[in-house]
Amino acid sequence: DVKVTQSSRYLVKRTGEKVFLECVQDMDHENMFWYRQDPGLGLRLIYFSYDVKMKEKGDIPEGYSVSREKKERFSLILESASTNQTSMYLCARRWTGANTGELFFGEGSRLTVL
Amino acid sequence: QQQVKQSPQSLIVQKGGISIINCAYENTAFDYFPWYQQFPGKGPALLIAIRPDVSEKKEGRFTISFNKSAKQFSLHIMDSQPGDSATYFCAASSGAGSYQLTFGKGTKLSVIP
């Protein structure tokens, strides 16, 4: 089975803290993504990466950064968490060789910023 | 900005009924239209997908209908079951190798016994 593992399912942080959300995939796939999911807003792309040390901004990159030092690991960083970043964060991967846009998602990390 | 508009936001259907969720898009370059299903506490998972060279695709009780001229596509769930209760997202992308899917805002489906 394909696995995308998000190490933290639930986090509670305080305003101003630095937050790391980790995502690990078990396949040698290049493309990885971070989405944010909010009720009524659907899934919005924050950042994606198509290879090690490569990153591209998505639709809502403000307040976030990413790190991809190894192909299997893609981290989302909140430099200074704010309450409006309370959300569900979903990591996904895609096989570059596929002729479809199918994404494989992790189970999500629910972040609460107090 | 590329958009995919999804309706309704929520849907209640009786067991055995037909659930219908609609999506409309603007970008004529879109050429891949998947539907994702998400159960509570889980990430979304691909349910079924279609390309614009066909008008309909069926997999079991799930059917995508595609109207290229109207730039609309819809998901039909026949004989809806309580186990189908989930949030459904339509999406679209353009070009082979495209990295980005544009998602609709989701439809929460509840199938009541």
Distance from CA of A50 to the nearest CA of B (A): 8
What share of chain B has pLDDT > 70, as a percent?
94
Instruction: Please name the member of B1, B43, B49 whose beta carbon is closest to the beta carbon of A105.
Output: B43
What pLDDT shows up at residue B48?
92
**Taking CA atoms, what residue in A is nearest to B35?**
A102
- B47, B37 contact by CB (below 8 A): yes
- In terms of Cβ atoms closer than 10 Å to its own Cβ (0-12, 13-18, 19+), residue B61 is middle
What pLDDT shows up at residue A11?
95
What share of chain B has pLDDT > 90, as a percent?
80
What pLDDT shows up at residue A51?
87
pLDDT digits (tens, 9 = 90+) for A28-71: 777 899 999 998 899 999 999 988 888 999 989 999 999 999 98
Interface size between A and B, measured as CB pairs under 8 A: 60
Is residue B6 predicted with pLDDT exceeding 90?
yes
Query: C-alpha distances in angstroms, B53 versus A26, B65, B78?
Result: 33, 12, 23
Is residue A88 predicted with pLDDT exceeding 60?
yes
Is residue B55 predicted with pLDDT exceeding 70?
yes
What pLDDT shows up at residue B97?
52
CB proximity list for A107: less than 8 A, separation 6 or greater: A6, A9, B41, B42, B43
- Residue in B101, B102, B107, B108 to test binding to A, most A beta-carbons within 10 Å: B101
What share of chain A has pLDDT > 70, as a percent?
92
Residue B1's pLDDT band, with cuts at 50, 70 and 90, is: low
Amino acid at B62: F
What pLDDT shows up at residue A47?
95
**Taking CA atoms, what residue in A is nearest to B87?**
A42
Distance from CA of A63 to the nearest CA of B (A): 20
Helices (H), A16-63: none
Where residue B95 falls (left for φ over 0; alpha for ψ -120 to 50; beta otherwise) is left
Residue B107's DSSP bridge partners are B88
- A84, B19 contact by CB (below 8 A): no
Q: Are residues A92 and B93, on separate chains, in Cβ contact within 8 Å?
A: no
Residues of A in contact with B96 (CB under 8 A): 99
